[in-house]
Structure 1
């Protein structure tokens, strides 16, 4: 009888351990957007489509849909330095409090931040990264921020802007 009990206990412990591993592997994540300042040297302008292509400081080419409020777009010439804001998608992964450290990616697309405030009505979070920079993330699903408390640590994953060039808008 002892053997049957030990097997049953062992199976229960394995199942419980599997459940713990499974729940920690699927940490809560929040998809959203953050407004960032962008700039560069104008490479080309398509006034009919309201698109401007710029070469940024890192030498990458980005194309932006320019808002209708920008007048005289046809006067903007190649080589002109421009600055604007654009929405960039981000994914926040809530880090468990028991997890001592998370390692951001080497390519700079990820960083660790701490939630400083939550606006559940607007569905936004304000974050402060390890260097002290602040940013506000607007959640795609406003209700997803309700369970996040100030002080929570998150891994911020910025999507490569070159992949989104067709959907961005300068304001």
Structure 2
């Protein structure tokens, strides 16, 4: 068992949280005029929120502030909010673990999509590289023109060759 400020805790983690709250309370007491009811009231209203304190040490401090405010005649008891304690209050460590698990799942999903998209991009570049020189849309016209020019040149050469043969055969007759 671990003891902090007169309270016994079962785990070291809870005791450490209580130590943190105790240090925070000490800081507040040292830096705040605890004799000024208006300041104490504002402080009480600010600290009396869910998740501000989670150990009996913090709740005892809130009770101390509440008792002080009840002694001030011009502050109505109805204006002093009751201290809210969650029924199934989970220690901050468990909440942090749950949040970490949530972020971990989101990270894994995001990582999966990043890998899939990166694979798609790399495969597109690979396909482009492997396909070699394939004419782009603007090059199609030039390639077709070049192809027809080469055919025309080939046909002209054949015609010339035929004309020469015919001329030779006419001379031989």
In which range does the TM-score fall when normalised by the shorter chain?
under 0.3
Greater RCO (CA < 8 Å, at least 6 residues apart): 1
Higher strand fraction: Structure 1 or Structure 2? 1
Higher helix fraction: Structure 1 or Structure 2? 2
